[in-house]
Structure 1
Amino acid sequence: MCHDLAAALDIGGTKIAGALVDSSGRLLVRARRATPAGRDGAAVMGAVAEVLRELTAARGWARVAAVGIGSAGPVDASAGTVSPVNIPGWRDFPLVDQVRAVVGGLPVVLVGDGVAMTAAEHWQGAARGHRDALCMVVSTGVGGGLVLGGRLHPGPTGNAGHIGHLSVDLDGDPCPCGGRGCVERIASGPHIAARALAAGWRPGPDGDTSAAAVAGSARAGDPIAVASFDRAGQALAAGIAATASLVEIDIAVIGGGVAGAGELLLAPLRRHLKTYAALSFARDVAVAPARLGADAGLIGAAAAAAGARGLWAVGG
């Protein structure tokens, strides 16, 4: 039997997705569960186990050589544990051991969800061909990952590039991570919506108060909604400029649900980046939308597993 597939998990605050992935990045089998309401630790692991059992029962499982996990973070790849900010029931949770017990002892590789998205976009997406890149997930939270010198750079614990918890407002609002004024505290979907509501924005008749609803109002010209996206773009620009100054990236790729707002977010981001990234080696950083959409976490988790196990070539 040829062991030429990787299994992938993408774990976040709203959904748990799984797939069997081949060496071209195709998702051959999919499984999905909603992250349980309340995000109780045992219930979340139960949903993960359901996804895994669906995959292990699928045709093709016998070809799986390794399992990759992209999880909301922070994660500790060296210990195999996760402590996602948006899953309060998991603190130092032994996710790798728990997954390994379900999949029969296959090798399991853990990275943060931002690193997984970065692996995907460098392999198959907007960062392909770039030697130095920052890729970001802007959604319920804000995560990220780095490609340096043409290779994925997850760092010792799998969290390198976690731009969401860079502080860009030293006297800003407290963040659940323990910092203040973090990029995530300003640019994530829930905070875009909360800021608009606090400033006087009102939802439509359906009562939708999500960032997507704010984006709809912004497209219609609502100045409060436009201002909330502008503030998010400013925070992202400050974080990207700081990263560019530190490690000399040449592209920032923006994905995740909030990035679906397109130019409502990217236009102010690019405008603010011109102000923040003024040094000669940082001012030419390109900003591009991610190409792989909602599948990026799964493709990247598979790529991380494949790269770590020498299963396929996954360089961009």
Structure 2
Amino acid sequence: MTVLALDIGATKFMAGVVHAGHEVRDVRQVEVPREDVWGALRALLLEVAGSAPVVAVGIGSAGPVDVRTGVVRPLNIPEWKAGFPIVPAVRELFSAAALRFAIDGACLALAEHRVGALRGVSDALAMTVSSGIGGGIIANGEVLLGRTGNAGHVGHIVVPGWDTPCACGGFGCVEAVASGMSSVRWAREQGWSGSTGVQLSEAAHAGDETAVAALHRAGTALGAAIASAAALLDIDRVVIGGGFAQSGEPLWRPLRAALAEHARLGYLAQLRVVPSRVTHGATLVGAGVLATTAVAD
């Protein structure tokens, strides 16, 4: 019998088989195509599942989501932006499987709370800073999902000083300023010639002025957004994962400076922002936690 974990990201899908201790093995991935998105994901799931019966599937997805209907509306997947019924589609594929579904930020929070930097922490925020920006909230030791499953979707906190258009239709969201994709877009508008967040980070470490400015811009926006979220949630721990978050000091130095500038309330005096310890697919690990919970139930 097989338990599957699925991560629906902005640029790629990842799926793997969940083993004891929430370890996800046999992980495979595919880039999100421009057309026939479900066809690509369906093929990936069938490939990972193999011939053994699938008894449970945990699904973590970029948001927004609606856990009540099992629909995803990822802003960066145009074909699904109006909504795709992922839970009914996966249920049709694996009719005997128990399904659990959550936004990727909630899966990140689950992974960090179970095996990462938030073990033993009762109130915290987990963030992913990658192609987009997401998050999940731990409150009283439990993951807070919210009315539709989008609690913790911190990418759409509005940060002061920017009016950058966001894919959500608003302006000045931290995702529009500080995500990997947004930072690359801004740098290219300034004349930088690279095309990926990894290249941007490497250029910043090499001293490229435009790349340094792009990461400084992103880190400053992140620090301001974290200060706002921490003040609202009354937390003292934030963990940040995701590929773009691994950009090092060019991103983290301005983040810490902005945090010190904005997080001035007394109850935030012990606030700590730390990098993720779940280094290989935190959303996928969290989806695996969802799946094993489904089996236990």
Alpha-carbon distance in structure 1 between the residues aligned to 2:161 and 2:213: 21
Task: Return the letter of the residue paired with 1:214.
Answer: L
Per the alignment, in what secondary structure is the counterpart of residue 266 of structure 2? coil
For 1:102 and 1:270, how far apart are their aligned partners in 2? 46
Match of 2:3 among 2, 6, 26: 6
The AA in structure 1 aligned to 2:44 is: V
Q: 1:70 aligns with which of 35, 60, 84?
A: 60
Deviation of 1:225 (Å) = 1.7
Conservation of the 8 A alpha-carbon contact between 2:56 and 2:295: no
Give the match's secondary structure for 1:93. Answer: coil
Is 1:306 matched up with 2:283? no
Q: 1:55 aligns with which of 37, 48, 54?
A: 48
Structure 1's unaligned 5+ residue stretches are none
What amino acid is the match of 1:47? A
* Deviating 4+ runs (over 4 angstroms): none
Q: Are the aligned partners of 2:236 and 2:271 in contact in 1 as well (CA < 8 Å)?
A: yes
Secondary structure of the residue aligned to 1:24 is helix
Q: Supply the RMSD in Å over aligned alpha carbons.
A: 1.8
1:84 aligns with 2:98: no
Q: Amino acid of the residue matched to residue 156 of structure 2?
A: H
Q: Find the residue that maps to 2:160 and give its secondary structure.
A: coil
The letter of the residue matching 1:106 is A
Deviation of 1:13 (Å): 2.3
Which of 182, 187, 193 is the equivalent residue of 2:178? 187
More displaced, 9-18 or 180-189?
Answer: 9-18
Q: Is the 8 A contact 2:4 2:49 kept in 1?
A: no
In the alignment, the residues of structure 1 paired with residue 162 and residue 50 of structure 2 have an alpha-carbon distance, to the nearest angstrom, of 51
Q: Equivalent pairs: percent with the same residue? A: 42
Other structure's SS at 2:273 match:
strand
C-alpha distance in structure 1 between counterparts of 2:233 and 2:201, whole Å? 32
Name the counterpart of 2:89. Answer: 98
Q: What is the CA–CA distance in structure 2 between the aligned matches of 1:228 and 1:284, rounded to whole Å?
A: 29
Q: Which runs of 5+ in 2 are unaligned?
A: none
Q: Counterpart of 1:66 in 2: which secondary structure?
A: strand
The size of the alignment, in residue pairs, is 296
Question: 1:1-316 counterparts in 2 under 5 A?
Answer: 6-36=3-33, 38=34, 40=35, 43-57=36-50, 61-62=52-53, 64-90=54-80, 91-169=82-160, 172-200=163-191, 202-203=192-193, 208-307=194-293, 309=294, 311=296
| Residue identity matched to 2:206 | A
Instruction: Provide the rounded CA distance (Å) in 2 between the counterparts of 1:269 and 1:185.
Output: 16
What code does the residue aligned with 2:23 have?
R
- What is the TM-score of this pair, normalised by structure 2? 0.93
The 1:28/1:189 distance shift into structure 2, 3 A limit, reads closer
TM-score, L = length of structure 1: 0.88
